[in-house]
Amino acid sequence: MFKIGNVEIENRIVMAPLAGITNKAFRSMMKEFGAGLVYSEMVSDKAICYGNKKTLEMLHVDENEHPMSMQVFGGDKESIVQAAKYIDTHAQCDIIDINMGCPVHKVLKADAGSKLLLYPEKIYEIVLGVVEAVSKPVTVKIRLGYDQEHINCVEVAQLIEKAGASGIAVHGRTRAQMYEGKADWSMIKKVKEAIHIPVIGNGDVKTPEDAKRMLEQTGVDAVMVGRAALGNPWIIQQMVAYIEHGEILHDPTPDEKLDQCLDHARRLMQVMPEKMAISQMRGHAPWYIKGLQSSAQVKNHLTRIKSYHELEAIIEAYRIYLHTQDRTWLEKVIQNLNQ
């Protein structure tokens, strides 16, 4: 267990914010698989200030998500403070997180995300402004720096702590690295040693052993898992069991993976129209079958599904193939869907 401000978090495995992915359906799923803390996908400060309907809907939090952190991004102090105040009042989240790590060009154009790492004093002013304006604990997610010539995560972390933040998450790459190369855990360790608020380590945590190694090598208070959980929510459960109890849990069976894929789709359809849910599942479904027998051909069809009926038909036909090794049923179903 660790605490961020007055929020108690029951274990040290945290689900990362992932744009377009960590909506409330996904977050609820991660909580059921044991994540101590979940983050929302990042929401735009300007969109909140303008009352954008779609963005305001993203602020909805279900009862089974707690504790959860709502992440906001922006590059302008006034609008990010205004947005944070709105979140503080209207969203049932437990923590407000400021994104200062996103490397995507669209976010950088707004002088937001990891672009802010070039302006440490501005980071201090933004965090101070948000902390003074809201009642919930405030955290910040950063990277090591903008690029190899500007690695300033220790300085930035100290300013964030000085501004009154209750915690910080550090991704062990620079903005220039995007998601390539190796995460530098030694710099995460330096951040942890330089400040007194909780630090969550992020980057290259793919297995329960990775999670334990990061905790031991860096001294961080918790470990953040991102892409490793795509199509594999069991990794959360496995990490919690390994770190908290020293238990090694078995990997899911192919049937469990296929069942979870369909469950994921149904959860999405409860919170958005089927067309939008299936659009998201075109990205998620291939992750669930990754590594299974003859998954490449099936993956190509899953990326083109247009309805839940199509998803279910392909998944169930694939299930029969995995059990019988008889391809005819699978090929017949796919042929019918293509007509």
Give the pLDDT of residue 193: 98
Give the pLDDT of residue 339: 62
pLDDT tens-place string over residues 294-335:
898 899 999 999 999 999 999 999 999 999 998 887 787 777
Give the pLDDT of residue 71: 98
Cα–Cα distances (Å) from 264 to 24, 258, 277, 291, in that order, read 11, 10, 9, 19
Concerning whether 102 is annotated as a catalytic residue, the answer is yes
pLDDT tens-place string over residues 115-132:
999 999 999 999 999 999
Q: Give the residues of the chain that fall short of pLDDT 50.
A: none
The 3-state DSSP class for residue 142 equals strand
Give the pLDDT of residue 209: 98
Domain spans of the chain? 2-245, 254-338
Which one of the listed residues 93, 102, 153, 261 is annotated catalytic?
102
**What pTM did the predictor assign?**
0.95
Helix ranges, 100-179 (H)? 105-108, 120-133, 153-162
The CATH-assigned architecture of domain 2-245 is Alpha-Beta Barrel (3.20)
